[in-house]
Structure 1
Amino acid sequence: MTGQNRSSAVMQQRSEPHDSLDDFPTPPWATRALCEFLRQQGFDLSAAVCREPCANRGYMVRPLLEQFGVVLASDIFDYGAGFMVRDYLFGPDADEDEVDWTFINPPFRLAQEFIERALRLSKIGVVVIARSAFSEGQDRAASLFLDRPPSFELQFSERVVMLKGRLVRSGAVDPFADVPGKKASTATSYSAFVWLTRDAAPADTRKRWIAPCRLRLERPGDYPDYPVAVPSDRGLFAEGAA
């Protein structure tokens, strides 16, 4: 039997080259859902300082600015959004780098390094969006989760669509897909891992589910207007805006 194995176990393997920027932008609604959860836990974000060290094109930064008093954004690569270009993992810790909260959708292969640094530099909490499979693995369990378990593991009950190099609304036509008319979707499940660094943090990890909320939390302007892919005899070409 030939053909691609499209089982969920295979399709959830979002594999990137070792030197890849792991450019999978976060839909703004997912960040709003996490901020909403923190407010429900009693946190006042309005006067807090938040850092986003994987700012990409700003899709997570913008909803953070809706909630936090100050958002410090940077990335190791210049995506043209005007953020500071900085390697978050480089150099020693410094007092001036301390913030109240850190929000990250880090490169999967470096997620633990980002978490460890964020825990040292965040006075209240660290929020990390990652594939749900991030909680698996003997090495990560031994070096991170067993020694420093998160306060909450938040499972998104609806799929958070993250596509390489672009942000397309779930269910909308993806103009960059290899098949004309293909709609944006994903086989990858995502969760948020929340570490509270304050003394009141729970002693063990509490599992919670983020109820479906995409339609409620999406806002006008969340998604860029990409060129529309139009089929022709020569393949696909761009015409107009999506």
Structure 2
Amino acid sequence: MKPEGFSAVMAMRQPTAPDDLDYFPTPPWAARAGGELIRSIDPQARTAWEPACGGGHMAHGLADYFGEGVWPTDIHDHQGPIRPRFIGDFVRGDFDAVGDPRADWIVTNPPFVLGEAFVRAAWARARRGVAMLLRLQFLEGAARFRLFNELPLYAVAPFAERVPMVKGRWDPTASSATAYAWFLWIKPGVEGFGAAPRVMFIAPGTRTRLARPDDVTMFVGLTEAPLLAGVEGGS
């Protein structure tokens, strides 16, 4: 199903070199945790746009939570199992001239250094809300203080478990000392807009509950799947 207004011309743009990208694939279980949060606060959400889709890890995890589709796009085609439908620079506004997907929610794990730019671009384009998977330290700094005052957070949802990410690939066996959280904004007209920010903890055991064997099969490979499927449920 093609997003309303999109044109295949976007796929003909010159791709960005992968070495220039801050590409850290999202474990699909962590994407599902975000999908659960969005559905809990906005049951009317039907569509999502994933504008930094990479190999499709997050789009795959979100698919069960948006009944009318998840639209994957990126600035580069990483040749993953789920390919971007269109290539373009989300922050620069490459999609504006041909019409964006007009999705209810824009949901992604953006390059950390472009986190604020992605939030602002997503806020301008989303119908109902924005969800960004970011390091918890995104809360810090004068620039973020201004951002949160201009675009008040609905919630921040830190993971009680670590969400390991490595550059350029998903490694289900990786570990991490970095704390991640979902940051959520809702648009005017959605129930809860204007409420005081809240903390919504993502409980221990979420990784085990939301991991699926087909995640490893799809994104790591058939050879490694029997060995790694058990690891995915670890702490």
Counterpart pick for 1:50 among 48, 59, 68 = 48
- Quote the Cα distance in structure 2 between the aligned partners of 1:159 and 1:24: 14
Matched residue type, 1:91: G
Pick from 110, 113, 121 the counterpart of residue 109 of structure 1: 113
TM-score (norm 1): 0.75
| CA displacement at 1:65 relative to structure 2 | 1.8
Pairwise CA distance, 1:94: 5.9
In 2 relative to 1, CA 100–227 (structure 1 residues): closer, same or farther, beyond 3 Å? Answer: closer
Counterpart in the other structure of 2:163: 160
Aligned-partner Cα distance in 1 for 2:47–2:97: 16
Distance 1:204-1:20 versus aligned 2 partners, 3 A rule = farther
**C-alpha deviations, 1:132-156, integer Å up to 9, x for none?**
00010012212x0122121001011
- Indicate which of 63, 66, 79 corresponds to 2:64: 66
- SS in structure 2 at match of 1:77: coil
Contact 2:36–2:65 at 8 Å: present in 1 too? Answer: no
Report Cα offsets for 1:81-121 as digits up to 9, x if no partner.
33121111223746932221100100111111111011011
Please tell me whether residue 99 in structure 1 is matched to residue 94 in structure 2. Answer: no
* Residue of structure 2 in register with 1:41 after alignment: 41
Larger Rg: 1
- The answer to whether structure 1 residue 207 and structure 2 residue 199 are counterparts is yes
Aligned to 1:9: none
How many matched pairs? 197
- Contact 2:170–2:220 (Cα < 8 Å) also in 1: no
Which amino acid in 1 is paired with 2:208? L
CA–CA distance in 1 between the matches of 2:157 and 2:97?
30
2:92 is aligned to: 90
More helix by share: 2
The answer to whether structure 1 residue 186 and structure 2 residue 185 are counterparts is no
Cα-to-partner distance string for 1:199-233 (whole Å, 9 max, x where unaligned): 3314321112110210010011212336999xxxx
> What residue ranges of structure 1 are gaps of 5+ in the alignment?
1-18, 173-183, 230-240
Q: 8 Å contact 1:123–1:198 — kept in the other structure?
A: no
Q: Which has the higher strand share?
A: 1
Contact 1:54 1:104 (8 Å CA) reproduced = yes
In structure 1, distance between residues paired with 2:161 and 2:212? 18
Q: CA–CA distance in 2 between the matches of 1:35 and 1:150?
A: 17
Q: TM-score, normalised by structure 2?
A: 0.77
Aligned counterpart for 1:198 among listed residues 184, 188, 211: 188
- What is the aligned partner in structure 1 of residue 210 from structure 2? 217
Unmatched 5+ stretches in structure 2:
1-18, 229-235
Percentage identity across aligned positions?
Answer: 38
- Report the CA distance shift for 1:227/1:95 in structure 2 as closer, same or farther (over 3 A): closer
Measured in 2, the distance between the counterparts of 1:66 and 1:109 equals 29
SS in 1 for 2:33: helix
What secondary structure, in the 3-state scheme, does the structure 2 residue paired with 1:209 have?
Answer: coil
Between 1:68-77 and 1:93-102, the stretch displaced more is 93-102
